[in-house]
C-alpha cells in the first residue's frame, strides 16, 4: 500500500493542483494496472480521480488504448454518483495493464490545464446550475454521456479524446468548486464533441459513398 501523501508545499496546501501533483508523485514506476492506480489515489474522492484520469487526454493525440480503460473508469464514477453507491471496478478492468512509462509525462503535461482552471474557477458561482436534485441529475447524466464519448473509438483522430476529456475536467472542477460556470462550459464542450463526431462520421460516410460510386461506376 502506498504511504501517506508527502508534505504539501508552502503555497495553498489544500488546492486541487497540490493534491493531484502529490498523487502523480506517488505513482509506481515501471508497469502499472488500473487497480494499482486506484490504490495510489486512495480516498481522495471520485471527482479527483476523474480529473486525474482525464489529464492524459488533454493533448491532441492520446495514448492508444487508454481512452477505453480510463473512459470506462470515469463512466463507473458517473454511475456511482447517479446511484449514490460506492465505486466498483470489475476485476478485468482493474487488472488491465497501462503504459506507465508514457502516463507520467502525459499527466504532467495535463496539469497545465488544472493550473489554468484554478486561476479562473470561482467557488459558488452561478449556484442555480448546481443546486437542486433535478439539476444535479442532469449534470451527472451529462458527465456519464461525456465519459461514453471519451470511450468512442476515434483515438487516432486529433482532439477526439481531448474535447470530451476537457468536458469531464470542467464538470469535475465545477462539481468540486460548486462553480456553475465551469459546469456550463462542460456542457458546451460536450455539445462540441457531439458536433465534432457528427462531422467525422458524416465526412467518413460521404467519402466511402464516393469511393463506392467511383469503383462501381
| pLDDT number for residue 107 | 81
Judge whether residue 177 has pLDDT over 80. Answer: yes
| pLDDT number for residue 63 | 66
Tell me the pTM: 0.80
Task: Name 32's bridge partners.
Answer: 98
Q: Taking Cα atoms as reference points, which of 142, 209, 146, 174 lies closest to residue 16?
A: 174
Query: Which residue is associated with the grid cell 504532467?
Result: 108
| pLDDT number for residue 152 | 83
Condensed to tens digits (0 to 9), the pLDDT of residues 119-133 reads 888 888 999 999 899
C-alpha grid cell for residue 14? Answer: 489544500
Mean pLDDT of 45-61: 82
| pLDDT number for residue 179 | 94
Judge whether residue 39 has pLDDT over 90. Answer: no
Q: How far is CA 49 from CA 4, 128, 175, 211, in A?
A: 17, 25, 13, 44
Q: Taking Cα atoms as reference points, which of 54, 25, 58, 82 lies closest to residue 173?
A: 54
Judge whether residue 4 has pLDDT over 90. Answer: no
The 3-state DSSP class for residue 153 equals coil
User: Confidence class of residue 166 from pLDDT cuts 50, 70 and 90?
Assistant: very high
DSSP label of 61: S
Quick one: how far is CA 57 from the chain centroid? 8
Establish how many alpha carbons lie within 13 A of residue 141's alpha carbon, considering only the half-sphere containing its beta carbon.
6
Average pLDDT, the chain: 81
Condensed to tens digits (0 to 9), the pLDDT of residues 128-148 reads 999 899 999 999 999 999 999
Amino acid at each position: 500500500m502506498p504511504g501517506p501523501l508527502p508534505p504539501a508545499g508552502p503555497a495553498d496546501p489544500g488546492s486541487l493542483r497540490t493534491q493531484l501533483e502529490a498523487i502523480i508523485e506517488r505513482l509506481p514506476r515501471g508497469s502499472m494496472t488500473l487497480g494499482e492506480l486506484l490504490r495510489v489515489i486512495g480516498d481522495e474522492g471520485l471527482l479527483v480521480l476523474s480529473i486525474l484520469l482525464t489529464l492524459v487526454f488533454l493533448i491532441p493525440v492520446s495514448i492508444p488504448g487508454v481512452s477505453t480503460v480510463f473512459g470506462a473508469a470515469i463512466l463507473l464514477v458517473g454511475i456511482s454518483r447517479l446511484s449514490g453507491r460506492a465505486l466498483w471496478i470489475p476485476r478485468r478492468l482493474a487488472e488491465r495493464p497501462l503504459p506507465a512509462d508514457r502516463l507520467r509525462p502525459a499527466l504532467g503535461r495535463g496539469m497545465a490545464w488544472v493550473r489554468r482552471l484554478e486561476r479562473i474557477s470561482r467557488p459558488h458561482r452561478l449556484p442555480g446550475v448546481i443546486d437542486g436534485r433535478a439539476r444535479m441529475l442532469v449534470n451527472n447524466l451529462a458527465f456519464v454521456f461525456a465519459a461514453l464519448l471519451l470511450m468512442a473509438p476515434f483515438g487516432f483522430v486529433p482532439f477526439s479524446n481531448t474535447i470530451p476529456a476537457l468536458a469531464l475536467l470542467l464538470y469535475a472542477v465545477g462539481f468540486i468548486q460548486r462553480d456553475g460556470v465551469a459546469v456550463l462550459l462542460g456542457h458546451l464542450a460536450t455539445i462540441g464533441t457531439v458536433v465534432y463526431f457528427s462531422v467525422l462520421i458524416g465526412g467518413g460516410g460521404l467519402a466511402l459513398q464516393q469511393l463506392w460510386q467511383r469503383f462501381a461506376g
